[in-house]
Amino acid sequence: MLTFSQKEESSIKGTISVPGDKSISHRAIMLAALANGESKIKNFLTGEDCLSTLQAFEDMGVSIKRDGQSVSVTGEGLNGLKEAKVPLDLGNSGTTTRLLLGILAGTPNHYCIYGDQSLTKRPMDRVTLPLREMGAKIDGREDGNLLPISVRGGSLKPISYTLPINSAQVKSSVLLAGLFAEGVTKVIEPVPTRDHTERMLKAFQVDVTRAGNEISLKGNQTLIATDIEVPGDISSAAFFLCAAAMKKGSHITVKDVGLNPTRTGVVDVLKRMGANLSVSTNRYIGDEPIGDITVDGGNLKGMTISGDDIPRLIDELPIIALVASQAKGKTVIQDARELRLKETDRIQAVVDTLSKMGVSISGTEDGMIIEGRQGPLNGGTFNSYHDHRIGMMVAIASLLTDESVTLTDEECISISYPSFFEDFGSLTGSHV
Ligand code: S3P
């Protein structure tokens, strides 16, 4: 339990670098484990989700050495994974589970995977259905929809799969299974989703091509080990970028953050809301752009966020909803039904939390409607719903009230941002 005390100075100021990107850290371990030879990963995110990925591959016999944020992975190629001696514990991590299922589908061993209470409720049929179509034998509760799940993989045939939901996890799972299939696997994505898998496959010298919205790769290619530097996670940076944008007098810079255009929806939305924000792309690490973002606090206005924008900011919607409470006018978030299926039902969690803080907000089937300019928020005791992004939203909301805010079960924040409270303290000058 943590209490955020009242601050004398309520603007936030300073320069930080946030920890490594969660999506990229998962993929770095996975692809390095499937490659031939040693890959060195720098700035790996040591959040619990990525440690679940690391542990799962160690359990499958991959040699992994970690020293802080530096990880060395020695893979033995596509056929190098061993049958694990234990069921694989994937903790809270949906990304690990869905991407790993794609890999296990192609591996001729038997595996059993399970996770924590939240993961055990999350739908897996979005990946088990196409993976079964490719030939994997998958069992689990609700006909392979819910963990624990057991997989017997091997001898996959390629498919051409049009994503029924806009999910990078599903796209990646099918593409990873496609690495093991005889022939060309195709994924068609009607709306672009984060493309770290495709970019990183290229870094491992896999020939993966995109024509319009269709991504293709031929199976049985050799992944060549490579070194990877993970950029800062824009989804973590978003909490402080949003805090600065809505607090007058604030000025912050987040350095060395990933600027992949499939992830920068929050930057575009803050700009459209009127934030004073500048982005400089400084370099590329592999195929991923990286740079600095500076934001000054000011007046914001509400807007509608929907359609193709949603996958580019899906994880940022809780903190964007908080920003909307401080903007002038109404903000409408639509087409974000997927939020109900994250670590918790994030529409319900945001609506309940912000309502208790005094914001006029209502949930819809696929989004939220937030009335802006509600005045100072109410303090009180809030919980994170065991969801890291809800916990961080509550911490940032404490900057918008003179009353004290207490957050229970804050430990889950270490899922994606283990040093969140240090950065919070350095930018706000407060001690929590
Ligand atoms: C992720 C994709 C997104 C995102 C998740 C990480 C990934 O999920 O919400 O936190 O690394 O591919 P969906 O692709 O299911 O929307």
Can you tell me the distance from the alpha carbon of 161 to that of 305, in angstroms, rounded to the nearest whole number? Answer: 28
Q: What pLDDT, on the 0 to 100 scale, is given for residue 50?
A: 98
Q: Count Cα atoms within 13 angstroms, Cβ side, for 119.
A: 20
Q: Which residues pair with 123 in a beta bridge?
A: none
Q: Which one, of 180, 192, 229, 175, lies nearest residue 41 by Cα?
A: 229
For the Cβ of 386 lying below 6 angstroms from any atom of ligand 1, the answer is no
Can you tell me the distance from the alpha carbon of 386 to that of 408, in angstroms, rounded to the nearest whole number? Answer: 9
Instruction: Please identify, by atom number, the ligand 1 atom nearest to the C-alpha of residue 23.
Output: 11
**Verdict on whether the full-model pTM lies above 0.85:** yes
Q: Are 239 and 288 in contact (CB under 8 A)?
A: no
Q: Which one, of 237, 251, 248, lies nearest residue 295 by Cα?
A: 251
For 2-20+231-428, which CATH superfamily applies?
A: Enolpyruvate transferase domain (3.65.10.10)
For the Cβ of 23 lying below 6 angstroms from any atom of ligand 1, the answer is yes
Q: What pLDDT, on the 0 to 100 scale, is given for residue 9?
A: 61
Q: What pLDDT, on the 0 to 100 scale, is given for residue 89?
A: 98
Q: Which residues pair with 408 in a beta bridge?
A: 383
Q: Are 114 and 89 in contact (CB under 8 A)?
A: yes
Annotated binding site for phosphoenolpyruvate: 22, 94, 122, 169, 346, 389
Q: What is the dihedral of CA 362, 368, 371, 375, to 10 degrees?
A: 80
Largest CA distance in the chain: 64
Which residues in the chain show pLDDT less than 70? 6-9, 374, 431-432
Q: What pLDDT, on the 0 to 100 scale, is given for residue 112?
A: 98
Domain ranges of the chain: 2-20+231-428, 22-217
For the Cβ of 95 lying below 6 angstroms from any atom of ligand 1, the answer is yes
Q: Which one, of 366, 365, 356, lies nearest residue 401 by Cα?
A: 356
Can you tell me the distance from the alpha carbon of 97 to that of 113, in angstroms, rounded to the nearest whole number? Answer: 8
* β pairing state of 276-285 and 288-296: antiparallel
Q: Which one, of 298, 283, 228, lies nearest residue 39 by Cα?
A: 228
Select which of 292, 315, 387, 423 is catalytic: 315
Instruction: Please identify, by atom number, the ligand 1 atom nearest to the C-alpha of residue 171.
Output: 14
For the Cβ of 366 lying below 6 angstroms from any atom of ligand 1, the answer is no
Q: Which amino acid is at 418?
A: P
Alpha helices, DSSP H, located in 9-92: 22-34, 48-59
CATH fold, domain 22-217, is UDP-n-acetylglucosamine1-carboxyvinyl-transferase; Chain (3.65.10)
The domains spanning 2-20+231-428 and 22-217 adopt the same CATH topology:
yes
Q: List the residue whose alpha carbon is closest to atom 15 of ligand 1.
A: 167
Q: How far is CA 109 from CA 105, 130, 266, in A?
A: 9, 19, 41
Instruction: Please identify, by atom number, the ligand 1 atom nearest to the C-alpha of residue 197.
Output: 12
Residue with tokens 């940032």: 396
Handedness of CA 56, 57, 63, 68 (dihedral sign): negative
Can you tell me the distance from the alpha carbon of 405 to that of 182, in angstroms, rounded to the nearest whole number? Answer: 56
Q: What is the mean pLDDT of the chain?
A: 97
Residue 138 tokens, joined: 């998958």
Mutate to test the pocket of ligand 1, among 313, 314, 387 (most ligand atoms within 8 A of CB): 314
Told to judge if 125 belongs to the known catalytic residues of this protein, a careful annotator would answer no
Handedness of CA 271, 275, 276, 280 (dihedral sign): negative
pLDDT in tens, 257-290: 999 999 999 999 999 999 999 999 989 998 999 9
Q: Are 189 and 161 in contact (CB under 8 A)?
A: no
* Helix 346-356 and helix 388-397, axial crossing angle in degrees, nearest 10: 20
- Please give the backbone phi and psi of residue 139, each rounded to the nearest 5 degrees, phi first: -125, 150
Q: What pLDDT, on the 0 to 100 scale, is given for residue 201?
A: 98
For the Cβ of 169 lying below 6 angstroms from any atom of ligand 1, the answer is yes
Cα of 369 from ligand 1 centre, angstroms:
23
Say whether 330 sits in a helix, a strand or coil.
strand
